[in-house]
Chains A and B, each alone.
Chain A
Amino acid sequence: MATLTLNDTHTAHHDHAAHGDHGHHKETFLTKYVFSQDHKMIAKQFLITGIFMGVVAMTLSILFRIQLAYPDESFPLLEMLLGKFAPEGRLDPNFYLSLVTIHGTIMVFFVLTAGLSGTFSNLLIPLQLGARDMASPFMNMLSYWFFAIASAIMLATFFIETGPASSGWTIYPPLSALPKAMPGSGLGMTMWLISMVLFVASSLMGGINYVSTVLNMRTKGMDLWKMPLTIWAFFLTAIVGILSFPVLVAAVVLLIFDRSFGTSFYLSDIYIAGQALPNEGGSPVLWQHLFWFLGHPEVYIVLMPALGITSEVIATNARKPIFGYHAMVYSLIGITILSFIVWGHHMFVTGMNPFLGGVFMITTLVIAVPSAVKTFNYLATLWRGNIRFTPAMLFAIGLVSFFISGGLTGIFLGNAALDINLHDTYFVVAHFHLVMGSAAIFGMLSGIYHWFPKMFGKMMDAKLGYLHFWLTFISAYLVFFPMHFMGLDGVPRRYYAFTEFESMSEWLSVNKFITWAAILGAVAQVAFLYNFVYSIFWGKKTVQNPWESTTLEWTTPVEHLHGNWPGEIPTVYRWPYDYSKPGADADFIPQTTPLSETMSSNLPHDFEGNEESERIQLDWEKQNKKELVK
């Protein structure tokens, strides 16, 4: 049995290690699978929790899609499943908003932040940098368990009397601050806030760990410019997280005081349920400033890891160096910096000073430049490549397509003048579901298919992967493309039904179409889930380097060890993208191969100005001139 052999090597390794002065404890089930401090196990915990939360959030979206497609029909099944949240088989309007809210929250934070960054940063930072583990494995474990508790609290809100939070994932006060305004702003909102504080704590612990590991624990020879783009992306993502999440905590703390202690940070001049509240002088716009100061960088926290994974997957499978490595890194850095000064574009029509709106419009459109550079670099990487369509590669190409489609509509929304008519319409929904939702999910799936052999020592079934990709890719476009036009017709988002406005009724058929496309997309995920679970237990065993990749993680043995490498940590001699180098025998040269072993393929820039090496290379070339001339 595979797990048995895995255990064997593990204990064997520890017997060796015990000879050192470090004295390991014997691992129990609890320390190995539950409170593990091994970054690879924590990565798997994040991944599986993330996938679980993803399935939950997807199910929620199907529920509200059904309501949008069939606003007048009753589904007794819904009443059976949801009880009083769907009286007489029709969703309650407040519960509809809960579904929308929790779908957004889970997808943005629990799946695409923790599930994506948490999984792959944990897995790849030590492995691709050549470190034994994270800077603080204990904090890493805490990070996972805070996340798990936050997830549990978030899901628990479905089982309380007043239902989950329901004021949108941006929880704008006063709606979120006043339990009288809607049932979801009662206990559900309190739990939402607690869950988010725990989540932020988890993210911060994770992020701090990642940054510290990247800066301090690289192996010999791994300078910053030899890091794979995945690591650059995770590193910058973690920095963005460290700099923006605390602001969300600050905002949430003030909201908690407003909700429970009667302060007036966000509340002013409110008359609700037949009485005037004593709060005066507060400003709801303050919340929006604080929230979006996190909220916008959050978009890049979601997207950048996906872009990093894509860079790696595309280069490996196109058998080509990523085009413009330096430009890719600089554009990531550019995005990181700019992401902090664009938050105001979410607030063009909130009554913010119009001049400020103009400023934010400029910064927002500037951020499109590094994004464009990245897209063109991906295209140039594919050009004259030799592309292997592994499922990971398909998803990476899918990401590029979504990134283009969704990114282009951002040019509309970033323009304050156009935003007047597009703000809070389905155009926005279409935009961010493509560029941040679909693109980031595709990045995550790409990463899962690519590093599954590293995580579980097994291969996933490629054919099911193809089926999964094509169904998901097509359905995502079918779902989100028509939404642009609904937005252009002035249909606002978060509407329970379009029946009250005659002009919107013409979109009913489109809504039905979108719902069925969404159901197709959801069913397609069964192919993935089956493939994932099946492959963990009964998949084909993998070889050490199944994708013939150059990076360090593929130099570790297939069976996991605590400490990653059985012997010394390998030294790094070259950048991570030496694919199809002219003159080399194989079409990839691992980072661990010294330049002295690849004299036939060395290029002048490989030596980084080291004169002695250049001289040796020249001598060698003179000697071997005949061969080179052919």
Chain B
Amino acid sequence: MPTYPQETDRYSLQPKKFIVWLFMISSFIFFAGLTSGFIVYSGDNLAKQLNVKMPDAFIYSTILVIASSISLQWAYIQTKRLNFAKQRLGLWLTIALGVAFTCSQLYGWMVLTGLGAFFTSSNASISFVYVFTLFHILHIIAGLILIIGSIISSYKAVPNVLNIFRMEISIVFWHFVDILWIYLYVFLLLNQ
């Protein structure tokens, strides 16, 4: 049976990449569920609308996350050019930016609580802000794990096909998380 192994190679990567896309769709639906929950909740009732100004920390987060997307893209280009040292640099930079983003989000929470907008508020619109950011941070952590996977495969001598494949998955997912944050932030800005 000579055909079997070849077929596996041809098939195994493409469907897996597709799986990542499908996962992103379902996780986007999760956030869409939350945001539409927000809309249903705040609805036509003025008292239930978001009456807090979003902290500036969220602007810095946005800048950080966009920067991290760029650095990751750069790492990917370097991988394709087989510049593995630069690839690693780009990946480490992305991780640093990702961690900075998380810290900035946490700082944003601190600012919010400072304004008296607590998680357990009688206006659940404010609780929603925490829920959005919390689950977004979980996605960031998942993205960071993927990037760490890419770094490991970059240090280990794995076949370059696999290396690039892992990079592609990380990059697609990271951009998704990036766009997700922008979506959430814009959503919050429109509703505040």
Direct A–B contact in the complex, CB atoms closer than 8 angstroms: yes
Footprint of B on A, CB under 8 Å? 16-17, 20-22, 131-132, 135-136, 139, 204, 207-209, 211-213, 215-217, 242-247, 249-251, 253-254, 257, 261-265, 278-283, 285-286, 289-290, 293, 563, 566-569
Nearest opposing residue in chain B for A283, CB measure = B41
The 9 closest A-B pairs by CB, nearest first: A135-B15, A247-B33, A250-B33, A20-B5, A246-B30, A280-B122, A262-B120, A246-B29, A216-B15
Asked if B41 and A265 sit within 8 Å, CB to CB, the answer is yes
Footprint of A on B, CB under 8 Å? 1-5, 7-8, 11, 14-16, 18-19, 22-23, 25-27, 29-34, 37, 40-41, 47-48, 119-124, 127-128, 131, 135
- What are the residues of chain A within 8 A of B15 when measuring CB–CB? 135-136, 212-213, 216-217
Asked if B3 and A567 sit within 8 Å, CB to CB, the answer is yes
**Interface majority SS on A: helix, strand, loop or mixed?**
helix
The contact sample of 5 A-B pairs, CB cut-off 8 A, is A16-B1, A135-B18, A212-B18, A216-B14, A281-B122
Asked if B19 and A136 sit within 8 Å, CB to CB, the answer is yes
**Interface majority SS on B: helix, strand, loop or mixed?**
helix
Kindly provide the distance from the CB of A212 to the nearest chain B CB, expressed in whole angstroms. 4
With A16-B1, A263-B120, A293-B33 known to touch, is A208 a contact of B19 (CB < 8 Å)?
yes
- What are the residues of chain A within 8 A of B18 when measuring CB–CB? 135, 211-212, 215-216
Nearest opposing residue in chain A for B47, CB measure = A281
CA of A215 to CA of B17, assembled, Å = 12
Asked if A242 and B29 sit within 8 Å, CB to CB, the answer is yes
With A212-B15, A281-B47 known to touch, is A289 a contact of B37 (CB < 8 Å)?
yes
- What are the residues of chain B within 8 A of A293 when measuring CB–CB? 33
With A21-B5, A568-B3 known to touch, is A250 a contact of B34 (CB < 8 Å)?
yes
With A243-B26, A246-B26, A566-B1 known to touch, is A254 a contact of B37 (CB < 8 Å)?
yes
Asked if A22 and B5 sit within 8 Å, CB to CB, the answer is yes
Looking at the complex, which one of A17, A21, A242, A278 makes contact with B22 (CB distance below 8 Å)? A242
Asked if B127 and A265 sit within 8 Å, CB to CB, the answer is yes
Nearest opposing residue in chain B for A24, CB measure = B5
Asked if A253 and B131 sit within 8 Å, CB to CB, the answer is yes
Kindly provide the distance from the CB of A15 to the nearest chain B CB, expressed in whole angstroms. 11
- What are the residues of chain B within 8 A of A211 when measuring CB–CB? 18, 22
Kindly provide the distance from the CB of A549 to the nearest chain B CB, expressed in whole angstroms. 25
Kindly provide the distance from the CB of B39 to the nearest chain A CB, expressed in whole angstroms. 10
- What are the residues of chain B within 8 A of A212 when measuring CB–CB? 15-16, 18-19, 22
- What are the residues of chain A within 8 A of B41 when measuring CB–CB? 265, 283, 286
- What are the residues of chain B within 8 A of A250 when measuring CB–CB? 30-31, 33-34, 37
